């Protein structure tokens, strides 16, 4: 057990640290010899026994030793007793009786204590100490001192008064010894840290102060000049101070020293003495010392017990904080929740680091932004900072700021619960980089947006890839248009020629005397119509040439095919390829008209290339459309060429893959990327009859209400309007 205010205070079963005979024998013998010698020395001039230390020492030794080892102690005590008491000149039988009595007293009390307390130390709590006091201090000595040689002899000789007086004196001397020496020796020999160990310098100073106070008070109480009973209380001050501050072992030592010193005095001071007779005064002193020791020890045990309970509660609380209990809304649950929160934060930060660059939760109402990625000042740990719409806007590059802020404001005003934007982000580092910002919008019951929770992903690499793709696509598109220049020129020229003839006719018509208005009206109407036709063609060509984002409108694929076949008229004539269309009525699809033209142009030109080596009469391409399933439409371009080598079939839509001498390998790759951007798929197969191949694609009709997959919009940055 520790005796400290600040060191750990442990309670537990008592066991002598040294259990071997080799050490137990000399230890017991030496201690007993010292105690017995002390008793002889303490006897005053009147030879009155006030304190019998050997009883206390023997009790402590027995309490700390297993009963099967008690014979070792007995073996050590007998010679020690004889050696110590030989000088008294008493006959041997009386000396033996004294020793035997001492042993009986100690073993009797220890046995009773073992029955009551088991292996427990009696100084660990007040209940056990009470049992100790009743058994070892009151009942044991009171009963067993009747066996003391002088008491029993007085009884046997019939001197009852002397027997009672001797019994009183012997009992109180034993009680005091057990209270003081018994406690001190027991506590000192317990295998626990001493009460002076692991103290701070201030505490050593405090112990010194207490010692000085104790000495001073002792002098004032027991000095020859001390005449007042009230002076006795002075001694209690340092004793209680020590008991409270340094625990039961310190108290045991102090009361033992005080009791021994008081007993050793030549006189019994006035302050203690209630009666004049030496025997009565000795009793007064014994009673005073017993009360003092009991008081100090009780206080010390009480304080230790409280301190231990408080410490145990603290340890228990700490334990529960670390290993929370399964049930109950206790502090453990809270701690667990806190740990879980902490883990969630770590989880979020890790996910943010690997999946995207930043996760944020923007409380719009409070203007607070939680970000998984703080700034450099806090080591980029998750942080919360103030954020308004304006301050957020400052993190967007000026070239994108207005567009993105307008877009977000519009979304917030609407009912959408998601938002996405690509923009140039100016991070804390200052250098702008492309990001994709995807967020969920949290709204209250009225639909008012309250929070925006989202993730920002760096898209710089993707943007570069996108740029490269666009460049590639542009190159492929220009190459394709270059291929059909003659067709385009012819198509452009046709309405211009018609306009010119109509204009010539109109002019001549005006020169006539009889000019019919109706005829003139027809001419002008035709001119207007041809002009529109030319404008439309120019517009579509511009669309085809223009490098812009994917724009999805409701379109009829059959119209696209008609236009493409017209555009390829000259080309097909020059190549002697016959174009046939087998179009069935189709539902509207959501598509980009110009891009779809591009797909068909690429597929048909590919078919024309495939048939370049065939006799002219065999060169035929059929373009067919059909509905597949309830919501999809399919377009097939069937040529009668040499077919596709099965080994290369899976790769014909790959970029830069070509089997032609002068091909770039872009046409079909571009066709595939456009079809996939429309949420469709494209494939090729050789015809069943073994002649030529069929290139097909299918896309969803507008009826299916299919939202384009996110990835398909990436390539062109398309957005549904």
Partner 1 sequence: MSAVVLLIDDDRRIRNSLGRLLRVLSYQVVEAADWDAALVLAAAQRPDVVVTDLHMPEHSGVDIARRLRSHPELGGIPIIALTATPPRDDETISLFHAVLEKPCAAEDLKRALTDALQVRKH
Residues found near partner 1 in the complex (CB under 8 A)? 486, 489-490, 493-502, 504-505, 507-509, 523, 526, 529-530, 533, 569-570, 572-573, 578
CB of 615 to partner 1, least distance (A): 16
Between the alpha carbon of residue 398 and those of residues 66, 423, 430, 434, 571, the distances in Å are: 89, 10, 13, 13, 47
CB of 502 to partner 1, least distance (A): 4
Report, in angstroms and rounded to the nearest whole number, the Rg of the chain calculated over CA atoms: 55
Cα 24 from Cα 3, distance rounded (Å): 25
CB 598 within 8 A of CB 480: yes
Nearest CA to 290 out of 148, 404, 139, 133 is that of 133
Q: Which is nearer to partner 1, 350 or 496 (CB)?
A: 496
Q: Which is nearer to partner 1, 221 or 487 (CB)?
A: 487
- Coil, strand or helix: which one is 443? strand
Q: Which is nearer to partner 1, 333 or 494 (CB)?
A: 494
DSSP state at residue 606 = H
- Coil, strand or helix: which one is 456? strand
Phi, psi of 621 (to 5 degrees): -125, 130
Between the alpha carbon of residue 125 and those of residues 9, 181, 213, the distances in Å are: 12, 19, 28
Q: Which is nearer to partner 1, 547 or 580 (CB)?
A: 580
CB of 566 to partner 1, least distance (A): 10
CB 55 within 8 A of CB 180: no
CB of 496 to partner 1, least distance (A): 7
Cα 425 from Cα 427, distance rounded (Å): 6
Q: Which is nearer to partner 1, 141 or 495 (CB)?
A: 495
Q: Which is nearer to partner 1, 361 or 530 (CB)?
A: 530
Phi, psi of 638 (to 5 degrees): -110, 120
CB of 646 to partner 1, least distance (A): 34
CB of 503 to partner 1, least distance (A): 9
Cα 82 from Cα 146, distance rounded (Å): 22
CB of 620 to partner 1, least distance (A): 12
Q: Which is nearer to partner 1, 346 or 519 (CB)?
A: 519
- Give the start-end residues of each E strand in 171-320: none
CB of 505 to partner 1, least distance (A): 4
CB of 494 to partner 1, least distance (A): 5
Burial class (CB in 10 A: 0-12, 13-18, 19+), 669: buried
Order of strands across the sheet that contains 368-371: 383-386, 368-371, 358-363, 449-458, 432-443, 418-426
CB of 482 to partner 1, least distance (A): 17
Cα 704 from Cα 591, distance rounded (Å): 13
């Amino acid at each position: 057990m520790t005796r400290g205010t600040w060191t750990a205070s442990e309670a537990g079963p008592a066991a002598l640290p040294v259990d071997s005979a080799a050490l137990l024998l000399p230890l017991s013998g030496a201690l007993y010899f010292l105690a017995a010698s002390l008793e002889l020395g303490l006897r005053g001039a009147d030879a009155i026994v006030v304190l019998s230390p050997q009883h206390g020492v023997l009790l402590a030794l027995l309490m700390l030793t297993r009963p099967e080892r008690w014979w070792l102690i007995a073996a050590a005590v007998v010679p020690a007793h004889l050696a110590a008491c030989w000088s008294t000149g008493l006959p041997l039988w009386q000396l033996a009786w004294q020793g035997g009595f001492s042993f009986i007293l100690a073993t009797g009390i220890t046995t009773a204590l073992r029955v009551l307390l088991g292996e427990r130390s009696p100084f660990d709590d007040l209940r056990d100490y009470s049992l100790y006091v009743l058994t070892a201090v009151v009942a044991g000595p009171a009963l067993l001192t009747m066996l003391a040689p002088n008491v029993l002899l007085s009884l046997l000789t019939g001197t009852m008064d002397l027997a009672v007086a001797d019994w009183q004196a012997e009992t109180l001397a034993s009680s005091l010894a057990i209270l003081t020496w018994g406690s001190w020796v027991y506590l000192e020999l317990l295998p626990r840290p001493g009460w002076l160990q692991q103290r701070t310098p201030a505490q050593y100073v405090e112990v010194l102060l207490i010692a000085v106070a104790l000495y001073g008070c002792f002098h004032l109480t027991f000095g020859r000049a001390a005449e007042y009973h009230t002076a006795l209380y002075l001694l209690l001050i340092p004793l209680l101070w020590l008991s409270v501050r340094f625990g039961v072992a310190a108290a045991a030592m102090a009361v033992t020293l005080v009791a021994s010193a008081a007993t050793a005095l030549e006189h019994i001071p006035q302050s203690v003495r209630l009666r004049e007779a030496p025997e009565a005064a000795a009793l007064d002193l014994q009673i005073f010392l017993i009360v003092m020791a009991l008081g100090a020890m009780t206080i010390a045990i009480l304080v230790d017990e409280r301190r231990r309970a408080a410490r145990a509660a603290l340890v228990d609380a700490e334990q529960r904080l670390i290993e929370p209990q399964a049930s109950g809304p206790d502090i453990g649950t809270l701690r667990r929740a806190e740990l879980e929160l902490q883990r969630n934060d770590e989880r979020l930060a890790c996910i943010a680091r690997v999946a995207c660059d930043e996760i944020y939760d923007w409380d719009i109402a409070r203007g607070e932004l939680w970000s998984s990625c703080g700034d450099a000042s806090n080591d980029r740990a998750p942080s919360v900072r103030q954020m308004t719409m304006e301050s957020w806007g400052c993190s967007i590059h000026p070239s994108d700021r207005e567009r993105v802020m307008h877009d977000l404001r519009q979304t917030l005003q609407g009912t959408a619960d998601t938002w996405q934007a690509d923009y140039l982000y100016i991070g804390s580092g200052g250098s702008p980089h492309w990001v994709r910002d995807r967020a969920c919008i949290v709204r209250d019951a009225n639909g008012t947006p309250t929070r925006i929770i989202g993730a920002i992903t760096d898209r710089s690499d993707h943007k570069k890839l996108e740029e490269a793709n666009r460049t590639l696509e542009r190159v492929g598109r220009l190459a394709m248009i270059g291929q059909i220049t003659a067709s385009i020129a012819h198509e452009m020229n046709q309405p211009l020629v018609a306009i010119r003839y109509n204009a010539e006719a109109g002019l001549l018509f005006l020169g006539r005397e009889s000019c019919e208005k109706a005829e003139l009206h027809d001419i002008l109407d035709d001119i207007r119509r041809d002009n529109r036709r030319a404008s439309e063609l120019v517009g579509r060509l511009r669309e085809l040439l223009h490098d812009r984002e994917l724009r999805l409108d409701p379109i009829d694929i059959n119209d696209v095919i008609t236009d493409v076949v017209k555009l390829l008229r000259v080309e097909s004539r020059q190549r002697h390829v016959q174009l046939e269309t087998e179009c069935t009525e189709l539902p509207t699809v959501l598509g980009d008209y110009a891009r779809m033209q591009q797909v068909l142009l690429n597929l048909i030109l590919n078919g024309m290339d495939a048939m370049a080596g065939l006799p002219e009469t065999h060169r035929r391409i059929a373009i067919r459309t059909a509905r597949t399933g309830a919501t999809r439409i399919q377009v097939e371009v069937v040529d009668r060429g040499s077919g596709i080598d099965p080994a290369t079939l899976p790769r014909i839509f790959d970029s830069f893959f070509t089997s032609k001498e002068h091909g770039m390998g872009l046409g079909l790759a571009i066709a595939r990327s456009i079809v996939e951007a429309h949420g469709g798929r494209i494939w090729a197969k050789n015809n069943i009859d073994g002649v030529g191949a069929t290139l097909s694609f299918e896309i969803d009709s507008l009826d299916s209400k299919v939202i384009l997959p996110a990835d398909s919009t990436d390539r062109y940055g398309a957005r549904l309007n």
